[in-house]
A and B are shown apart, each in its own frame.
Chain A
């Protein structure tokens, strides 16, 4: 579904990504792992159009989306979350979810100001309620983001990313900062989404999380792909073990 071909990028002489090649299969959960600084978030940024790669191409459903504008990437059905959440503080959870919808349909500005499309907004309200339910944040609906626990905000971030029903969901460290109970719930949610035919591609550090969810694992180190396969294969892969132990921050 998503194909990364020969992608590379330099930052002032340092090859942050070097000849990265892999495919993200449809309808599965793929995890991107690797030690800190391996280039995982850089790759995400290139895929979603925030960084220009120096070499290589990226294809989504056979369309070349290399170096295309982020809003176009979104329109194609690629949605992402961020490590530092990027939610809007003074707004309620419900209003933050609204932001996820706005770019998708682009409802007419004039009609909205003159309040002529109330039916559309009623439908959107229902949509917001639904996605709040499946992410389990309904009771915090009208609270502002600074009044709400961090775990709930992470779910909100995901809700916002899926409310426009993307084809593929890119998650940047979804489990970070969550306690075990919250991680369990998140796993349930992701499995639920995959059952609905969503493809998931996530950067993650929590190996327990990855082992429970990922059908496919890709490991990066120093900008290069050093392993690509099922979790079982990766776990015993020498290169991967060296990469992590060598960079161990125990």
Chain B
């Protein structure tokens, strides 16, 4: 049953990535192929701040988060805003280009090797029914849940959050009501980058970080997002956890190479059988 605990741990990461996808998708309708790269950058940033500059965690982490917001905003300005007469193909391919560039930057700045950091909290092993959970894993789960809750509060309560939801429902109407759609889009990317970096920070002590990590992480996060229903906040979280658990289960019975294929099977199954996912919102079926 150990796979349930490891599944929830990796699932929490998928959930954070899925949230990032959903936020950008909800406000802009774009699927950000570079979402996984934000996670990689998160890991690289915390490595640099902790291991190279030797900063204490309590200073390094907030710095990394701040950097994340900046990077996300910059990303939107450089890649998204600059596309004139955007159409679907251009938007899909520009985020693919962005992910290539970010990967390339990751390799140039941090090299090809896997990097790691020391655990942020003292290492302990929790004995649980039918398995164990390390303190690092517990941290991942808790941070992810806290992040998800805080984000949902932000969207429900704050006026900025309401502006986001207005954009999701109807961009043009939101614009007429005075919401600055362009700024909201920039903020959406900033938040998505923040989510990615948070995921990267908590996961690095456990599974190291390599410049190529972004691809798989992004794809699995996307699988989680559409499993839960593209655009659904808690659907993305649920999708992430479910994906993590299922993947963990299959990893325990099949040769490990097949494990990765599982997320893709999920993508295909959802797209063919139930495109709106488990909790997806049905927008008016038009043409």
Which residues of A are in contact with B by a Cβ distance under 8 Å? Answer: 11-12, 45, 50-51
Contacts and interface: CB of A to CB of B under 8 A. Distances in A.
Chain B, interface size category, equals under 10
B284 A11 contact: yes
B52 interface: no
Contacts of B287: 45, 50-51
A45 B287 CA distance: 9
A51 B285 CA distance: 9
Nearest to A70: B287
Contacts of A11: 284
Contact of B284 (A12, A45, A50): A12
6 contacts: A11-B284, A12-B284, A45-B287, A50-B287, A51-B286, A51-B287
A51 B284 CA distance: 11
Nearest to A52: B285
Contacts of B284: 11-12
A240 B286 CA distance: 29
A52 to B, nearest CB: 8
Interface in B271-287: 284, 286-287
Contacts of A12: 284
Contacts of A50: 287
Interface in B229-287: 284, 286-287
A51 B286 CA distance: 7
A11 B286 CA distance: 10
Nearest to B287: A50
A138 B284 CA distance: 42
A103 to B, nearest CB: 18
Contacts of B286: 51
Contacts of A45: 287
A231 to B, nearest CB: 32
Nearest to B282: A12
A50 B287 CA distance: 6
A114 to B, nearest CB: 31
B85 to A, nearest CB: 11
B276 to A, nearest CB: 14
A237 B102 CA distance: 67
B200 to A, nearest CB: 40
A11 B284 CA distance: 7
Contacts of A51: 286-287
A45 B284 CA distance: 15
A12 B284 CA distance: 7
A45 B286 CA distance: 10
B133 to A, nearest CB: 44
B81 to A, nearest CB: 23
B190 to A, nearest CB: 32
Nearest to B286: A51
B287 to A, nearest CB: 5
B282 to A, nearest CB: 8
B209 to A, nearest CB: 45
B280 to A, nearest CB: 15
A244 B163 CA distance: 35
A-B complex: 6 closest residue pairs judged by Cβ atoms: A50-B287, A11-B284, A12-B284, A51-B287, A45-B287, A51-B286
